[in-house]
Amino acid sequence: MEYQTKKILGHDKNFLKLSMLIKKNKLPNSIIFQGSKGIGKTTSAYRIAQFIFEQLNNPRDSYSFDNSIIYKKICNNSYPYLLIVKKIWLDDKRRYKNQIYKDDIAHVKRFYANKENESQFRICIIDNIDEFSTEASNSLLKIIEEPPKNSLFIIINHNNSKLLKTIESRSYKLKFNKLSLIDYSDLLKNNNYRYTDIEKLYKLSDADLQSSFNYVDNDFDSIDEHFSLILKNPNKIKINTAQHYVNFFNSNLDTENSDNLINYMLLRIKKTTFDTIKTGRQLNMFKLIKSYYFLDKAYKNQKMFNLNFDHIIIKFFNFLKNA
């Protein structure tokens, strides 16, 4: 399972803060885990939930993370006192919903209102609030303003600008910092990922572990050199270039993994843009910025209107060449 790891490196200070709050019985009703994507916030939320549930029956002086029965149930989404809120997968359209809407969180209030074992501590993990619609955020705020007894919300937040300020003001906030290269490298190895140029992957992903896993799993290394080359020099785009990437996608990735390809392409465009800024080549820089936003918008439209994914790739390379 994605979260079954005993080691969560780089965030010890946050775990110490939370463990002290738990021991002193001063745990707030709402905690925001804030930081860049893919650095371990959701994994940390699962582990803290495990620690809290295990503390209820077996208090400890310090936190430790074993793959206990409770934790295995948490990972399998079968622990009755933990609720995970995240984007819903649409089987008929083979994609996730574009956002988390108000109706998608209607069950949160019912989860806390359950009269069975009323004294039982319950935790809801919001993964992640950046994907909430305005109406869903306001609905969540109403629950947080009048928190149910024995309740805790752990809210994952990647982008502070997308967080409702009234939710932020009613929550205890923990900042999760970017992983160091050493911790990042150790976590890759701990998850059985072996890659020759760790520093390259670290810089490309900006220490985002999930993006790094996807890079290795989907063999993006096989197209990275070529994609980097044409980003730097769009004149090298040929008549069959777009089809080459379409074939790569159709041969190597499932439809569900179209996010992975687009996320990789956006990461590479972003990294190449920063490298270009250092060289002072403004013309290329503006082209890259335009291509980033073109691809991002085109893919969002593709998901919203269920458009043909191949056409998005073809349109992107046409735009890149002619921008």
- Identify the pLDDT of residue 3: 44
Same domain, 44 and 171: yes
- Identify the pLDDT of residue 4: 45
Same domain, 29 and 126: yes
- Identify the pLDDT of residue 114: 72
**Does any domain span residue 181?**
no
Q: Give CA–CA dist 318/234, Å, rounded.
A: 10
Last residue of a domain, one of 175, 210, 232: 175
- Identify the pLDDT of residue 7: 57
- Identify the pLDDT of residue 115: 67
pLDDT, one tens digit per residue, over 74-112 is 988 999 999 999 999 888 777 788 899 999 999 998 898
- Identify the pLDDT of residue 283: 66
Name the residue range of residue 66's domain: 12-175
Per the structure, how many domains does the chain have? 2
pLDDT tier for residue 289 given thresholds of 50, 70 and 90: very high
Last residue of a domain, one of 153, 175, 197: 175
Same domain, 37 and 108: yes
- Identify the pLDDT of residue 252: 76
Same domain, 171 and 252: no
Same domain, 60 and 147: yes
pLDDT, one tens digit per residue, over 32-74 is 999 999 899 999 999 999 989 988 767 666 666 778 889 899 9
Q: Give CA–CA dist 319/299, Å, rounded.
A: 14
- Examine the pLDDT at 267 and tell me if it is beyond 90: yes
Q: Cβ of 255: how many Cβ atoms within 10 Å?
A: 10
**Does any domain span residue 253?**
yes
Same domain, 57 and 134: yes
Average pLDDT over residues 313-320: 96
Average pLDDT over residues 108-117: 81
Same domain, 230 and 300: yes
Query: Nearest-CA neighbor of 155 among 61, 280, 35, 298?
Result: 35
Q: Residue 261 has which token pair?
A: 């390809």
Last residue of a domain, one of 148, 175, 202: 175
160: domain CATH number is 3.40.50.300
Same domain, 92 and 224: no
